[in-house]
Structure 1
Amino acid sequence: MTDARAEEAARSVLATFGGRALGVPRTRLATVARPGRPRGEWHYWWQAHLIDCLVDARLRGSALVDDRLIRSHIRGVWLRNGLRFRNGYFDDMAWLALATQRFGRLGGADGATRRLRPVLESALRHDWGGGALWSTQRDFINTAATGPIALFLARAGERDVPRRMLGWLRANLADADGLMRDGLRVVEGRLVPVSDVFTYNQGPVLGLMLELGGDELPAAEAHVRAVARRLTRPGTRVLRTHGAGDGGLFSGILTRYLALAAADPRLDRQARILAGEVVTATADDLWDRRAVRGWRGRPVVVFPQDTHADAVGETAELSTQLQAWMALEAAAVTVAALR
């Protein structure tokens, strides 16, 4: 059942939002919203998470996704981004690097991962004791860049640098429960805290703990418990969400990494079950609140932008639909792992 729900999410997102990049053959790119937004609106990191969802579906054995489709989406990002993968935001590029790195492990190698690595390494601020810059404006060191860059490097075989980055996060941005705050703004040479705690920032940090393993595994268990206690809706295991726009991706990203925890046999069984409960409760909530709409003569599923939402809005944004797709793919992984 969970596989079938993930497949329906994949079919609906691809059918509703998919198309050629700038009309060029052998490329694919998703539009930002349906009904459409003004031409030219561009969200690089939304496309990166679409590619990650395609990799999820490919791993699940989806009938809809093959290596050629994934390559066409990577090529579409490169084309739409001005014939390059580099842009002004290091977190954007880290999300794409993580997705293409996972694709490479399936044998689908492409040039994006190799090209992005030195760019991401240039974001590291060793002079501030660690952490990674958010953008080329170089005025914000945050979890959103540090977490995924550290995870990318750890998955590439590095150990010392990702460990130092995780230590920097704990020393500078962890709250009393170990959840990561947003970042440190550089203001007149001083680092000023930005204390928001967002769901998505916890995901790659959890993934990093799992990737490093060893003495980080108890910390990963504690992180799962803090997420379940602090970032779910009262009286439930359903993750809080962050509305539309960029925030529409946030909680879906966290479910991806909670699913890794649920599937990791090195963790305490109760922590695995707890991670799985958060994933499946969130996926169930989004699935149960779905609506069916017509698109080009075919029914498609549209998901709410928020958990516990009363209804699906008239406009569906790519970000919110990817959030639901991620959660449903994560639920499929979780159920299979804990069966």
Structure 2
Amino acid sequence: MDGAERAAVAERAVRVRHLRPVWGVPGTVLGRSGWPPSFDQRLHWHWNYWWQAHLLDCLVDAQVRDPRKDRAKVIARFVKSVRFRNFGKWTNIYYDDVAWLGLALQRVRALELADVDEAIAAIDEQLHEGWTDDAGGGIWWRRGDQFKNAPANGPAAIFHAREGDATRAAEMTNWLTRTLKDPETGLVWDGLRVDTGELVKNIFTYCQGVYLGACLEQSDVDNAASTIDAVAEHLAPGGIIRGQNGGDGGLFGAILARYLALAAKQLTGPAAERAKHLVLTSADACWGGATTTLTGPLFSAEWAAPAPEDPPESGAPERDLSVQTGAWLLLEAAATLG
């Protein structure tokens, strides 16, 4: 089975298990946060805004891979459902969440799958609002906070670059390089507590991914290549991107894989080959470790390890939409590399 076929199988599994109408309203659809779903997940009570953004991005990946009218309709309904479930608004108080949705909607717009101009404008305005000169620049993690981090500034930099705001995109990328890139390992730290000056040196795979993506938008080959090298050395034992459990962590490795795949196509030489190897090796491990279920493969939260049996036990990370969407995202990324 080739990469495109694997991605198609992952798509069907996630859609069958997770996509449902919101509150039973016809014409709506979002992803349930868990499978098998708990009572509150059936109601989309805690709906994990940014997980939905990546689920939308995966639907767009699939539409690029295999354009279909029925999926195009699902994407259009999904976009409307985000606003519906968010009580008439496109944004929330988290700048990282907003940036993730913005990136997905830019791709929806590029394919003319829905009218998202109003949504993108609202997101653009909020991301600009988040910038301050405190600590040399950057945007906050959320409104009213004193934390500036890579998970907000990375995707926002990519968003601004794709919206044509090259100045702000460059400012954000440069802030990340100056402030959060570890000069010893080449890895990107989580963030900075502006009020105390404390660097939060947690290492998350998705921080590397969004920084890499921002560097690619700036054609910053040196920092892109050094990030790929750092990931290969520190975050991918045996060439397999490490997992970071369920919950939000279920998406971390996949976000890195998305930008590694882009790097593999945009760069040349050893860095491009290393990026491609990381994505394809991770995808092979993810696919090989999946458990077969009646609804399709169930993917492990740790791609180097096998997934639990169907259905996973209560509390298992494999129940999370984030984990299964992350695996789908990885397989879509791999499919773009042949």
Taking structure 1 as the reference length, the TM-score comes to 0.91
Q: Given that residues 94 and 149 in structure 1 are in contact (C-alpha distance below 8 angstroms), is that contact kept between their aligned partners in structure 2?
A: yes
> 1: distance between equivalents of 2:215 and 2:137?
17
Q: Given that residues 298 and 307 in structure 2 are in contact (C-alpha distance below 8 angstroms), is that contact kept between their aligned partners in structure 1?
A: no
Cα shift at 1:140 = 0.9
Q: Kindly tell me: are residues 262 and 147 of structure 1, through their superposed partners in 2, closer, same or farther at Cα, counting changes over 3 Å?
A: same
> 2: distance between equivalents of 1:94 and 1:130?
17
> 1: distance between equivalents of 2:171 and 2:191?
16
Amino acid at match of 2:132: R
Offset from partner CA, 1:124-181 (integer Å, 9 cap, x none): 1223311110111322110010101111001111112111111111111110233210
The yes-or-no answer on 1:92 pairing with 2:93 is no
Cα shift at 1:66 = 3.0
Match for residue 244 of structure 2 among 242, 245, 260:
242
Amino acid at match of 1:195: K
Any idea what SS the aligned residue of 1:334 has? coil
How do 1:207-246 residues align onto structure 2 when only pairs under 5 Å count?
207-213=213-219, 216-233=220-237, 236-246=238-248
Cα shift at 1:38 = 3.9
Q: Kindly tell me: are residues 308 and 238 of structure 1, through their superposed partners in 2, closer, same or farther at Cα, counting changes over 3 Å?
A: same
How do 1:1-339 residues align onto structure 2 when only pairs under 5 Å count?
1-39=2-40, 40-63=45-68, 66-108=71-113, 109-110=115-116, 111-176=118-183, 177-186=185-194, 189-213=195-219, 216-233=220-237, 236-264=238-266, 267-294=267-294, 299-312=295-308, 313-314=312-313, 316-335=319-338
Cα shift at 1:228 = 1.0
Q: Kindly tell me: are residues 65 and 247 of structure 1, through their superposed partners in 2, closer, same or farther at Cα, counting changes over 3 Å?
A: farther
Q: Kindly tell me: are residues 65 and 279 of structure 1, through their superposed partners in 2, closer, same or farther at Cα, counting changes over 3 Å?
A: farther
> 1: distance between equivalents of 2:274 and 2:254?
17
CA RMSD of the aligned region, Å?
1.5
Question: After alignment, is 177-186 or 276-285 more displaced?
Answer: 177-186
Q: Given that residues 247 and 320 in structure 2 are in contact (C-alpha distance below 8 angstroms), is that contact kept between their aligned partners in structure 1?
A: yes
How many residues are treated as equivalent by the alignment?
A: 323
Offset from partner CA, 1:61-90 (integer Å, 9 cap, x none): 155863221121111111111111111211
State the percentage of identical aligned residues. Answer: 38
Unpaired runs of at least 5, structure 2: none
> 2: distance between equivalents of 1:241 and 1:136?
29
Any idea what SS the aligned residue of 1:242 has? coil
> 1: distance between equivalents of 2:325 and 2:210?
17
Any idea what SS the aligned residue of 2:197 has? strand
> 2: distance between equivalents of 1:185 and 1:304?
33
Any idea what SS the aligned residue of 2:37 has? coil
Q: Given that residues 22 and 80 in structure 1 are in contact (C-alpha distance below 8 angstroms), is that contact kept between their aligned partners in structure 2?
A: no
Cα shift at 1:308 = 2.1
Q: Given that residues 150 and 210 in structure 2 are in contact (C-alpha distance below 8 angstroms), is that contact kept between their aligned partners in structure 1?
A: no
Q: Given that residues 56 and 78 in structure 2 are in contact (C-alpha distance below 8 angstroms), is that contact kept between their aligned partners in structure 1?
A: yes
Offset from partner CA, 1:33-81 (integer Å, 9 cap, x none): 1111341122000000000101111111155863221121111111111
Question: After alignment, is 47-56 or 130-139 more displaced?
Answer: 130-139
Q: Kindly tell me: are residues 106 and 64 of structure 1, through their superposed partners in 2, closer, same or farther at Cα, counting changes over 3 Å?
A: closer
> 2: distance between equivalents of 1:255 and 1:64?
27
Unpaired runs of at least 5, structure 1: none
Any idea what SS the aligned residue of 1:292 has? strand
Q: Given that residues 186 and 227 in structure 2 are in contact (C-alpha distance below 8 angstroms), is that contact kept between their aligned partners in structure 1?
A: yes
Amino acid at match of 1:279: V
